[in-house]
């Protein structure tokens, strides 16, 4: 297998040249767009925008998919059907607070229940999760989006698409069954760039009914950049400190809730990456002194055995304050800056699930990413990806210019098929996001099996706020909600 280079692996000189190019190009992009900051229009129906554009490059089409094109179904009616699933109830209050961030320092934050990240919600796979959200005093309105969770359209928490923003004094109750185990997180999807950065985030951990991996301890940590300045791990600028004894098997769930890519190193123990975006990998191999690049919104679970020396450290290459210390004992040595980079395209063992780049797809779409645009357009100007229930969809994403783009799809898991034209050679990778560095090209595929109106956007939320956000719309699905300045629903 030929060596696969990512832009991140290129020499520092190339990186600097790339960054210089981006900086040089930004004014051009700004001029081309007419304005840099995206202006929301007065009112848009995200269900019908661009519906007649016909921009799709269909490799073929199966014509009228079942369901009938005449009567539109509403996203608002697409709820979790009744079942006997065990019910887990939670309440979350969005409120302004002053939070302690370590070393006696405090910061003003927008929080769930007075802390950022908010309470960790931990459930079992198959549980029915009921969360009552109350907005106490966030004037701009809030929602909760359950990042990475496959759930019914009306529960996706996108202001102006799946619900109205919840204004101060109002409540909204979310209800969905946790079908897939894994590491997830939640955040407001009303002005998400601003609100996630101010602290409206939390963790959702869905424990497996039966784990493919054995471990004694199960921890989760959130990395965030509060108010654009404080780099915090589980709310602390001193990192997270977790207890463990020599010999313990530790599952550590790493969640990047910041917009920037975090390069995380594991020191003090060999480890496996057992899960990406909450989805288990098949027969993951043993890694040593390897950097893991985690894009905005992405989750990587690592598994290791505590060494007799007693301490394992996981830390960010760029931000000293983003670190996790597990156990007490001898300080492990640090990783070299140029240590190997984790390559998920050739990790673990393949499984034949029949989903390949050369299978038959009902529709194929091309997305070309610029610094803050998709196919040269931004937000509502970008024609949506149109799908019908039951179809197989392939998306080719090419990153032409700009910083890393962790592209995130709501409501579905996609399979990563190829990188730069080559099929993946290791474990199947199912994910809700794929991070592209400049020059990268990926093909991903998903089955359209969850009717609704779904966002597809960059999870560098500043990019999203500037327009790097589009829709995947099922034919015949409508919404009563509207995005725009008139309703105040501004999902980013």
Footprint of Cu ion on this chain (CB under 5 A)? 405, 458, 460, 463
The CA-to-CA distance between both ends of the chain, in Å, stands at: 40
Instruction: Give min distance, CB of 189 to Cu ion, in A.
Output: 16
Cα–Cα distance measured from residue 237 to residue 321, given in angstroms and rounded to the nearest whole number? 5
Neighbours of 158 (CB within 10 A): 29
Instruction: Give min distance, CB of 97 to Cu ion, in A.
Output: 29
Q: How far is CA 32 from the centre of its chain?
A: 29
Give SS3 for 101: strand
Cα–Cα distance measured from residue 162 to residue 464, given in angstroms and rounded to the nearest whole number? 18
28 sits in which H/E element: helix 12-33
**Joined tokens for residue 205:** 């951990």
Q: How far is CA 67 from the centre of its chain?
A: 31
Contacts of 70 (CB under 8 A, 6+ apart): none
Cis bond upstream, residue 117 (ω within 30): yes
| Cβ atoms 424, 345 nearer than 8 A | yes
Between 99 and 470, CB nearer to Cu ion: 470
Instruction: Give min distance, CB of 461 to Cu ion, in A.
Output: 9
Between 123 and 465, CB nearer to Cu ion: 465
Between 323 and 469, CB nearer to Cu ion: 469
Is 145 annotated among the ligand-binding residues? Answer: no
Instruction: Give min distance, CB of 463 to Cu ion, in A.
Output: 3
Contacts of 312 (CB under 8 A, 6+ apart): 244, 250, 266, 267, 268, 269, 304, 306, 325, 326, 327, 332
Between 394 and 459, CB nearer to Cu ion: 459
Beta-sheet pairing, 262-267 with 291-294? antiparallel
Between 97 and 460, CB nearer to Cu ion: 460
Instruction: Give min distance, CB of 371 to Cu ion, in A.
Output: 8
Is 147 annotated among the ligand-binding residues? Answer: yes
Instruction: Give min distance, CB of 460 to Cu ion, in A.
Output: 4
Instruction: Give min distance, CB of 405 to Cu ion, in A.
Output: 3
Between 111 and 460, CB nearer to Cu ion: 460
Between 244 and 382, CB nearer to Cu ion: 382
| Cβ atoms 305, 275 nearer than 8 A | no
Measured CA distances, 313 to 113, 250, 263, 306, 333 (Å): 29, 12, 14, 11, 9
Backbone dihedral region for residue 110 (phi beyond 0: left; psi -120 to 50: alpha; all else: beta): beta
Q: Environment class of residue 169 by beta-carbon count within 10 Å: exposed (0-12), middle (13-18) or buried (19+)?
A: exposed
Cα four-point dihedral sign 34, 190, 97, 147: negative
State the Cα angle at 189 between 186 and 191, rounded to 5°: 135
Nearest to 277 by CA among 350, 374, 206: 206
Between 297 and 383, CB nearer to Cu ion: 297
Between 65 and 196, CB nearer to Cu ion: 196
Instruction: Give min distance, CB of 436 to Cu ion, in A.
Output: 8
Instruction: Give min distance, CB of 188 to Cu ion, in A.
Output: 19
Residues of each annotated binding site: 147, 187
Residues of each annotated binding site for Cu cation: 147, 187
């Amino acid at each position: 297998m030929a060596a696969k280079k990512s832009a991140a692996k290129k020499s520092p000189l190339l990186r600097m040249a790339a960054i210089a190019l981006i900086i040089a190009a930004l004014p051009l992009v700004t001029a081309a767009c007419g304005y840099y900051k995206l202006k929301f229009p007065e009112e848009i129906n995200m269900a019908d925008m661009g519906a007649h554009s016909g921009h799709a490059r269909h490799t073929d089409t199966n014509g009228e998919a079942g369901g009938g094109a005449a009567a539109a179904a509403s996203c608002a009616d697409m709820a979790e059907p009744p079942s006997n699933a065990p019910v887990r109830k939670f309440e979350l209050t969005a409120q302004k607070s002053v939070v302690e961030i370590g070393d006696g320092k405090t910061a003003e934050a927008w929080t769930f229940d007075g802390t950022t990240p908010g309470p960790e919600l931990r459930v079992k796979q198959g549980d029915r999760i009921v969360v009552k959200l109350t907005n106490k005093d966030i004037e701009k309105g809030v929602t909760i989006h359950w990042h990475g969770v496959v759930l019914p359209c009306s529960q996706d928490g996108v202001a102006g698409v799946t619900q109205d923003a919840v204004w101060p004094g109002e409540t909204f109750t979310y209800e969905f069954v946790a079908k897939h185990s894994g590491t997830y997180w939640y955040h407001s999807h009303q002005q998400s760039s601003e609100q996630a950065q101010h602290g409206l985030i939390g963790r959702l951990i869905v424990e497996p009914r039966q784990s493919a991996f054995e471990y004694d301890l199960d921890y989760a940590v959130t990395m965030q950049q509060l108010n654009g300045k404080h780099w915090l791990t589980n709310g602390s600028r001193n990192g997270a400190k977790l207890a463990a004894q020599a010999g313990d098997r530790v599952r550590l769930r790493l969640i990047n809730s910041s917009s920037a890519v975090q390069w995380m190193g594991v020191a003090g123990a060999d480890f496996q990456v057992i899960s990406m975006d909450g989805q288990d990998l098949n027969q993951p191999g043993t890694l040593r002194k390897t950097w893991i690049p985690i894009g905005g919104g992405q989750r990587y679970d690592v598994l290791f055995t505590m060494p007799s020396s007693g301490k394992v450290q996981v830390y960010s290459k760029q931000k000293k304050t983003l670190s996790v210390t597990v156990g007490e004992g001898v300080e492990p040595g640090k990783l070299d800056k140029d240590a190997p980079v984790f390559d998920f395209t050739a990790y673990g063992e393949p499984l034949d699930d029949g989903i390949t780049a050369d299978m038959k797809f009902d529709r194929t779409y091309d997305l070309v990413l610029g610094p803050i645009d998709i196919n040269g357009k931004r937000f509502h100007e970008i024609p949506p990806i149109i799908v019908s229930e039951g179809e197989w969809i392939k998306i080719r994403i090419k990153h032409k210019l700009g910083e890393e783009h962790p592209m995130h799809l709501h409501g579905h898991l996609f399979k990563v098929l190829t990188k730069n034209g080559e099929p993946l050679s290791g474990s199947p990778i199912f994910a809700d996001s794929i991070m592209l560095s400049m020059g990268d090209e990926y093909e991903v595929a998903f089955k359209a099996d969850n009717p609704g109106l779904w966002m597809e956007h960059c999870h560098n939320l500043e990019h999203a706020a500037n327009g790097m956000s589009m829709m995947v719309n099922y034919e015949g699905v409508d919404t009563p909600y509207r995005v725009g300045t008139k309703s105040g629903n501004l999902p980013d």
